[in-house]
Amino acid sequence: MDRGIFDGLVWNTFLLNTGRITATEAHKFTDFFTLVRWTRLIDLVCVMKCDPSVSIDREYTNQLTRKRGSIMEENTLAEFNAIHADAVTAEGRVA
């Protein structure tokens, strides 16, 4: 299953936190992707955490530009780290 479901649930929480989707939409997404049908296919999810500044340095190494995008910036990456941390302790449910 790759990281698809877990990653999707983290993005779901990010989109909810930033007002890009409603609580109702987030709840429906979470309900769907946490169905036993999907979660029983997952044996293990490994989460590797990286400091936002290190992540940005890696992203832009050997690139022609260091222009930041809306996701590859310190505050957004820090928020993703916090969401991931919550997800790891949420007994399989995010949002």
Summarised one tens digit per residue, pLDDT across range 47-64 is 788 899 998 888 888 887
Asked if 9 contacts 86 with a C-beta cutoff of 8 angstroms, the reply is no
Residue 79 in any domain: the answer is yes
Query: What is the pTM for the complete model shown?
Result: 0.76
94 in any annotated domain? no
Q: Residue 35 falls within a domain, yes or no?
A: yes
- Per the domain annotation, does 49 fall within a domain? yes
Query: Is residue 16 one of the residues assigned to a domain?
Result: yes
Decide if 60 contacts 66 (C-beta within 8 A): yes
How many CB atoms neighbour CB 7 within 10 A?
13
The answer as to whether 39 is a domain residue is: yes
**Average pLDDT over all residues of the chain:** 83
93 falls within a domain: no
Count: domains in the chain:
1
Could you tell me the residue range of the domain that residue 54 belongs to? 4-88
Model pLDDT for residues 26-49, shown as the tens digit of each residue: 999 999 988 888 888 888 878 788
How far apart (Å, rounded) are the C-alpha atoms in residues 27 and 60?
Answer: 35
